Structure 1
């Protein structure tokens, strides 16, 4: 398996050389080679397999989706087997036929879609790539459209996590990209919180790009996965914010000085608002490299984000934290208040709620470090 790469050298992570390390002074450079090398499941899902997926017994769609993907993996790897699980996985509209080449996992956040997609990648024989929707658009930006198609067309399987259309340019680009890959015989698998024929709704004039959106929909068999957010099945809510003093002391090594289990690296400390501002100066493709060597992150003064652009950047940043299982210790407001009610009522609601769910999980891990 290709391991995710390392960033090029950063500026001095400690700024003036004193105090805890800070993300806000880092400006990582990310090469095209790194972007290609990182097209594998992130560390959190490095050991994901169909056998380790734990479906909710009350939601048969979860085990049915697992069985279907296992059968697809076997078929694509030449191990044979019939796709017996398809009958219980109905496309919207009641058709059980597998229309299109790919599989599109649709469902709410926290039902295990990413775990299943990573399992499909791990258990399907290569060549293969795995990345988020944002990572693929970043790759096109770094390599150009033609070289990206040429590279991806050599793969047996392309997995796309968190498939989303946020603007018309992405709609046309991805529609063309997937058309080229399908014509080259590449197998496609994707996850999203939105059905393919509803992509873009509430975000831009989707009706003006209906042909592209319908073309994307035709590339996939949509598989619905229902259920509760597994990260909160036990009823756990966002932990109480810590004090500034506690967050700072931990970052400085004054509390629980043992390394974070399973992670090397340093403890970082940043004020939330300046960090959000710093994210606006970096392309989202650099957020993963920004977290190289980070064992834990202390955030002072968490507060609700009102600006939509800042909020969307924060979603990507939280995803990269979650990919790496980095505990987060926060003061200020609770993690479930980081996006304003106005943002949560808009077209990106599902994206924000997924980020909140993931941030709650990370802050629970952070709070446990100083419990």
Structure 2
């Protein structure tokens, strides 16, 4: 094993790269103990001539993972990244929860096609999908665990029952305690057995760090750059690198009511789009709400001044900002003008005043310090509006 999370955390503190926090240190120690336990299990299984006996013992005493929750930016992802890099498990996977579920849905769809074609026996795609994932993955680390989709809610219990039976160890981060997952969701009673299973197979840890260690990366600098020129692009790139710890990121897709919404770049709970990606495509409020619930930080490059010819794009922009604001998403953007000058299309400019006001508020320290998530009942399920 390379440095344990505890050793790595102590080194970062010693170099002054992060400030010491007792809650973070305690979690680093907890993750180090789990890494050592997984390493010992691996070595025992590898060196024993009685592999069948160790396999039986392993099945009887499964390794308990971790469910880590707490407010945004307290260091959950940073510490799990240290753990993932340190642990010597060959079949390990690190993914954002939304990416993982998109992969599960794709596997379910593919398996249903095989069943329909007669290439696979049975009528339930979940057992073969679970077996496939378990064959590939011994340790699964998920970031931003959240459940707001009834399809996901109904799949998770059946899927993870089989994954845990196959020995999978789960380490996940979330902004929500397990008992609050899918709160108010349709048929939530059917979801509760999964919550019980999650609490049985993972130790639940609240990371109550005293400060948002990422907030300073945004609050200490600008989050709105104008005009949208080369200098603004460079500033956006620097802010992106700060928020994502210079991780490269990759494209992904979000599923919304059977459709795919493309995300050009996503990593560590942040997503980056151009104005055209979001507002010149046939997207509606449900698409923007999905984006707002999935990502805690959204970057938008190149917001133009919008005149009469941009009526549809301007309307979509209003819906987008409403969704981001209601979910308290941190917004970093470059634009051709200050918010109150972005819409120049006569009467529509008057209606745009609320959006401009929100854009100014989203630059404030109070807004940046607010936790990610819906702020009231009115923001949970807005009426569907589509602008074609």
Q: TM-score range with shorter-chain normalisation?
A: 0.5 to 0.7
CA–CA separation in structure 2 for the residues paired with 1:129 and 1:342: 26
Normalization by structure 1: what TM-score?
Answer: 0.54
Equivalence for 2:116: none
Q: 1:157 aligns with which of 134, 139, 148?
A: 139
Q: Give how far 1:241 is off.
A: 3.5
Task: Decide whether the 8 Å contact of 1:162 with 1:192 is kept in 2.
Answer: yes
Q: Give how far 1:216 is off.
A: 2.5
Equivalence for 2:356: none
- The one-character-per-residue Cα deviations of 1:17-71 (angstroms, maximum 9, x if unpaired) are xxxxxxxxxxxxxxxxxxxxxxxxxxxxxxxx545665754x4221100111012
CA–CA separation in structure 1 for the residues paired with 2:224 and 2:332: 14
Q: Does the alignment pair 1:212 with 2:194? A: yes
Q: Tell me, what secondary structure is at the counterpart of 1:229?
A: coil
What aligned pairs does 1:1-371 form with structure 2 within 5 A after superposition?
50=9, 56-57=19-20, 59-78=21-40, 101-125=64-88, 126-144=90-108, 145-146=126-127, 148-154=129-135, 155-227=137-209, 228-233=211-216, 236=219, 239=222, 241-243=224-226, 246-247=227-228, 250=229, 253=230, 283-284=260-261, 286-288=262-264, 299=275, 307=285, 309-316=287-294, 328-330=333-335, 332=339, 333-334=359-360, 335-336=362-363, 343-346=374-377
CA–CA separation in structure 2 for the residues paired with 1:181 and 1:342: 29
Q: Tell me, what secondary structure is at the counterpart of 2:26?
A: helix
Q: Tell me, what secondary structure is at the counterpart of 2:195?
A: helix
Q: Give how far 1:260 is off.
A: 5.3
CA–CA separation in structure 2 for the residues paired with 1:348 and 1:67: 38
Q: Give how far 1:316 is off.
A: 3.5
Q: Give how far 1:201 is off.
A: 1.3
Q: Tell me, what secondary structure is at the counterpart of 1:153?
A: helix
- Unaligned runs of at least 5 residues, structure 2: 1-7, 43-60, 109-125, 242-255, 301-330, 340-358, 381-388
Task: Decide whether the 8 Å contact of 1:166 with 1:200 is kept in 2.
Answer: yes
Structure with the higher fraction of residues in helix conformation = 2
Give the number of the structure whose alpha-carbon radius of gyration is greater: 2
CA–CA separation in structure 1 for the residues paired with 2:217 and 2:332: 20
Q: Tell me, what secondary structure is at the counterpart of 2:68?
A: strand
- The one-character-per-residue Cα deviations of 1:316-345 (angstroms, maximum 9, x if unpaired) are 3666869xxx97424532445799x99522
Higher RCO (CA 8 Å, separation ≥ 6 residues): 1
CA–CA separation in structure 2 for the residues paired with 1:121 and 1:176: 26
- Unaligned runs of at least 5 residues, structure 1: 1-48, 81-97, 265-278, 350-371
Q: Give how far 1:182 is off.
A: 1.1
CA–CA separation in structure 2 for the residues paired with 1:327 and 1:235: 9
Q: Give how far 1:186 is off.
A: 1.5
- The one-character-per-residue Cα deviations of 1:227-256 (angstroms, maximum 9, x if unpaired) are 22112258926736444xx11xx1xx4778
Q: Tell me, what secondary structure is at the counterpart of 1:283?
A: strand
